[in-house]
Amino acid sequence: MKPSVAQLRELARRMRIDIVRMLHAAGSGHPGGSLSCIDLLATLFSHEIERTPRNAADPGRDRVVLSKGHAVPALYACLARAGVIEREELWSLRRLGSRLQGHPDVARLPAVEASTGSLGQGMSIAQGMALAGKMARPGFRVFCLVGDGETQEGQMWECAMSAPKFGLSNLTVILDANGGQIDGFTKDVMNIEPIADKMRAFGWRVLEIDGHDFPAILSALDQARAGAAAAGGAPTYILARTVKGQGVSFMAGDYTWHGKAPDTAQAVRALEELGADQGEIAAVKATKPQKG
């Protein structure tokens, strides 16, 4: 049975706790974008992607490409909750020899669909997969989570132009539009707006939602699924407005939390805000972070 909205909200809260613990233990990483996209990924993996340890390598599986690879703690949290990796492995994030690198590494962890982190490339990778999915019998769907900062890359716009040409109705791109990147606010670094109008002009079906509103996320995914079933239809672009660092008061909306890990005091404060239990808080206090 698929989780209710209340269960999804609780699942995302638990994953936020995992993300904070991972980044604290690593001593480096990207909390802002991981926290902004976890509601989207939690819903995607719970309602659209049936990922299990048994089907993680099934050729007919639906795929999720994390183009904004720096937000991989959110993806690892989803894979752990699905049982694809052990939850205890999460605390090995970014350690030498770990399968859980700071960006997805398919060579080390085949459960991720692509090695990403060179921003702008994931959407093109997802398009190639979607082309293969169109030819496969049975076919499969491809989801790609992108960031608004990486949308400044030219390769993204080549894919934006070509995916509708090929009628890739089985491709859904989700923009985690949290408004920030490592250099500042996206609108100040290189404004991508009006992004919805631009994507519609290229021929995409565009859905605009609050990326932290679970009913809205579910509705958008339902519409994307219906579109995928239409012969010769357009690819779907879900424009999800989110908050960088969502769920932690001192990180929320602050782009300076794009690429730095919380220290122990900050991690404890974040866990307290997220309602972590005393055992989790004690574990953080007892953990010596790696040097970033």
Is CATH 3.40.50.970 what the domain over 5-285 is classified as, yes or no? Answer: yes
DSSP string, 68-136: SGGGHHHHHHHHHHTTSS-GGGGGGTT-TT-SS-SS--TTT-TTSS----STT-HHHHHHHHHHHHHHS
Q: pLDDT tens digits, residue range 38-70? A: 999 999 999 999 899 988 889 999 999 999 999
The answer to whether the predicted template modeling score (pTM) of the entire model surpasses 0.85 is yes
Q: pLDDT tens digits, residue range 228-237? A: 887 668 999 9
| pLDDT beyond 80 at 183 | yes
Is residue 95 a contact partner of residue 290, using CB atoms and an 8 Å limit? Answer: yes
Is residue 182 a contact partner of residue 259, using CB atoms and an 8 Å limit? Answer: yes
Residue carrying structure tokens 């082309």: 131
| pLDDT beyond 70 at 292 | no
- Domain residue spans of the chain: 5-285
Instruction: Please state the rounded mean pLDDT for residues 152-173.
Output: 96
